[in-house]
Amino acid sequence: MGLNTENARTLRKLAVVAVAMFGFGFALVPFYKKICEVTGLNDLQKADTVVNTQVDASRTVVLELDANTRNELPWAFRPTERSVKVHPGQLVQITYEVRNDSDEAVTGQAIPSYGPRLAEQYFRKLDCFCFAKQELKPREVRRMPVTFVVHPDLPSDVATVTLSYTFFRVEGPTKPAAARTDIGARPAS
Amino acid sequence: MEAVHGHEHGHDHAHYPGGIMRWITTTNHKDIGTLYLWFSFAMFITGGLLALGIRAELFQPGMQVWRPEFFNQLTTMHGLIMVFGAIMPAFVGFANWQVPMMIGAPDMAFARMNNFSFWLLPPAALLLVVSFFVPGGATGAGWTLYAPLSVQQGMGMDMAIFAVHIMGASSIMGSINIITTILNMRAPGMTLMKMPLFVWTWLITAYLLIAVMPVLAGAVTMLLTDRHFDTHFFNAAGGGDPVLYQHVFWFFGHPEVYIMILPAFGIVSQVLPAFARKPLFGYSSMVYATASIAILSFIVWAHHMFTVGMPAAGQLFFMYATMLIAVPTGVKVFNWIATMWRGSMTFETPMLFSVGFLFVFTMGGFTGLILAITPVDIQLQDTYYVVAHFHYVLVAGSLFAIFSGIYFWLPKWTGHMYDETLGKWHFWLSIIFFNVTFFVMHFLGLAGMPRRVPDYAQQFADFNMIASIGAFGFGLTQLLFFYIVVKCIKGGEKAPAKPWEGADSLEWTLPSPAPYHSFETPPIVK
């Protein structure tokens, strides 16, 4: 066998490796999702179970509620109360109201965030509209509950917690970000 | 593949078109090696100017020179250009020149593909440089191009993505070429375990490149489709995850740092024995250590992202795996020192750069070990300590080894000796200014100065001023390097076939300058 055939064989083998590794890059996506699923790392949206809720009536935590929308979502989104006072261990229900201002059905997903961040681990949510996507028909108004317990282990120096939800648009074209030229800047002009 | 066949009778004169067409159409491994090295130097100067832009802004606290958005573009482009434009092509240039000569092959296996590999690079470089002048400017997302920022930026980001695609294709083609050449075209008698260590390190590096460059291509392709085709790989709003990008990127990124250092190990392993006039200590352990480093590089990527949120078990695994790499690296450093032990050493410029490499690279290795400790890393994440660490291993590591290799082989390439006095000046100025620039960054990082920020608190002012002075000194010193190389090409003392007494690999059996076609009849290696 000549050197050229030998070289061509090596070339083909190595090219197969390169193509396979390109595929492997994409295979990392489901692989990553599976790992997160198995280890429960990304489970922001799962109902918690609460056992033995001893209400600590001697302590009051002020819960400030906040609501935002992103990605040009044509929704008006707000909590029905701006803030509530809760006792750790107490079962609390709050309500958010969302209104679709557009003439088409739109789906959104709410993502919670907490201030201070460490408060997150002391929130036990039994029910939340953020556990599922919400599809609103044209001009539909919906009131949605969040049921939760603030765990009594919440550090005693935390007197105020902000619970913030942001609704992201899920389907339909998101506005292409590349069209926004105001983000970058030209050198020293 | 015409060049591979060679002619029955050897001839010293070359057949090639004159002028620019010689370089555009060339399939000669020496010509292509030269092209790679000059391209790398041009990119080194470009990336260096961007670095000086960064240091000019950081000379004093407050905003002096640039707007903050442009500062981010400077840091991003400095990283991309130095990694993909300067360091990697320089090593490919060495591989093109040296690998065929060191294994006794007439040329690279796929000579025409070799030409394509090189000529893909200038368009990619052009895309990166021109992206500064498009609306929105170049990408400012950092050389890692992290989502979600990279999903949002202007068209400069698309140009960077295409540049990465093109450079990736070039690297993969180059690697296939190098592996095929090494596996199939060694001279009779040259068994794998008789190959010079530079050839070994490149063989392993080329495998790494083939394994991870496609993964990077996949990552930036996902970015591109997220940006323009409504996919949601990294877009949280659509159910994607920005942290996924970091995993995919660093699966490429960590082997990439070994891609940039293993050939440097190879060069140093050629230079140290030559000037210590002793064979390399522990040759086979060097080969195994190189292979171990390459294999381990695939299971440590998440140490770049200890702070993104990872279970403790994951942090411990990546911490211990990372520390494990210190073992084969330690074997290498031990062997280099043992090679010099009781050797008849002389300190010409290549040796100075290699010993300097050993000294400063080891410091960078130790700071890497410190950063591998998860709780320490959480404190030091994204501070100037990290900047100091990777410049110790990339500038004092890769770049000093490149300088060492250039001085070592310049007599073989040009047929002239370089100016030894100026070479020594180049070394001492480089190593002093390098440390002036980067040593103080350790202190800045420990004190908490974040990287990629154009302004900083008053207490960091003194060290930043020192670092900026060092950076401008280092930059000016490289003009001296340019002068030395040009002077050596133009003339100088005639170089003998083997200018270094202790050197013993095959290229030194050829006359200096190496003839345009070499080893058309393979040498017999005993």
Q: What is the pLDDT of residues A53-99, one digit of tens each?
A: 678 888 899 999 999 888 778 899 999 999 999 999 888 999 999 99
Query: Do A15 and A85 fall into the same domain?
Result: no
Quote the minimal CA–CA distance from B255 to chain A in Å.
14
Query: Do A114 and A143 fall into the same domain?
Result: yes
Q: How confident is the model at residue A45 (pLDDT cuts 50, 70, 90)?
A: low
Instruction: Determine whether the interchain pair B152/A180 forms a contact, defined as Cβ–Cβ distance below 8 Å.
Output: yes
pLDDT for the residue B34:
96
A187 vs B70, B154, B248: nearest CB: B70
Mean pLDDT across B275-285: 95
- Is B316's pLDDT higher than 50? yes
Identify whether A176 is part of a domain.
no
Identify whether A72 is part of a domain.
yes
Identify whether A30 is part of a domain.
yes
DSSP helix/strand/coil, B28:
coil
- Nearest 10 degrees: Cα torsion A165, A179, B241, A127: 20
Query: Do A70 and A37 fall into the same domain?
Result: no
Q: Tens digits of per-residue pLDDT, B344-385?
A: 999 999 999 999 999 999 999 999 999 999 999 999 999 999
Q: Which of B210, B233, B259, B519 best tests the A interface by mutation, with the highest count of A CBs <10 A? A: B210
Mean pLDDT across B175-199: 95
Query: Do A161 and A119 fall into the same domain?
Result: yes
Catalytic residues of B: 78, 107, 143, 170-171, 254, 256, 258, 269, 303-304, 329, 332, 451
- Is B73's pLDDT higher than 60? yes
Query: Do A90 and A21 fall into the same domain?
Result: no
The full set of domain ranges for chain B reads 17-260, 262-507
- Is A44's pLDDT higher than 70? no
pLDDT for the residue A179:
37
**Taking each helix axis from N to C terminus, what angle separates A3-39 and B242-259, rounded to the nearest 10 degrees?**
140
Residues of A in contact with B73 (CB under 8 A): 184
Residues of B in contact with A177 (CB under 8 A): 151-153, 227
CATH code linked to domain B262-507 = 1.20.210.10
What are the angstrom distances between the C-alpha of B479 and each of A64, B8, B41, B248, B484? 61, 44, 11, 38, 9
Residue B110 CA to chain centroid, in angstroms?
23
Residues of B in contact with A21 (CB under 8 A): 210-215
Query: Do A137 and A67 fall into the same domain?
Result: yes
- Give residue A19's domain range: 1-43
What are the angstrom distances between the C-alpha of A41 and each of B243, B299, B419, B459? 12, 20, 60, 39
Mean pLDDT across B1-10: 42
Neighbours of B156 (CB within 10 A): 28
Q: For domain B17-260, give the fold.
A: Cytochrome C Oxidase; Chain A (1.20.210)
Quote the minimal CA–CA distance from A58 to chain B in Å.
34
Instruction: Determine whether the interchain pair A6/B184 forms a contact, defined as Cβ–Cβ distance below 8 Å.
Output: yes
> Is residue A166 within 8 Å of A68, Cβ to Cβ?
yes
pLDDT for the residue B230:
86
What is the tally of structural domains in chain A? 2
> Is residue B196 within 8 Å of A4, Cβ to Cβ?
no
Identify whether A53 is part of a domain.
no
> Is residue B94 within 8 Å of B499, Cβ to Cβ?
no
For B134, which residue in chain A has the nearest alpha carbon? A186
Query: Do A24 and A66 fall into the same domain?
Result: no
Residues of B in contact with A166 (CB under 8 A): none
Q: How confident is the model at residue A36 (pLDDT cuts 50, 70, 90)?
A: confident
The residue among B363, B360, B367, B365 whose CA lies nearest residue B446 is: B367
Q: Count of CB contacts below 8 A, A vs B?
A: 149
Q: Fold identical between B17-260 and B262-507? A: yes
Instruction: Determine whether the interchain pair A185/B228 forms a contact, defined as Cβ–Cβ distance below 8 Å.
Output: no
Mean pLDDT of chain B: 93
Q: How confident is the model at residue B8 (pLDDT cuts 50, 70, 90)?
A: very low
Q: Which of A1, A4, A9, A21 best tests the B interface by mutation, with the highest count of B CBs <10 A? A: A21
Provide ipTM, 2 decimals. Answer: 0.86
For B221, which residue in chain A has the nearest alpha carbon? A26
The DSSP code sequence of B46-97 is: HHHHHHHHHHHHHTSSS--SS-HHHHHHHHHHHHHIIIIIIIHHHHHHHHHH
Token couple for B52 = 């000086």
Identify whether A16 is part of a domain.
yes
Instruction: Determine whether the interchain pair B66/A188 forms a contact, defined as Cβ–Cβ distance below 8 Å.
Output: yes
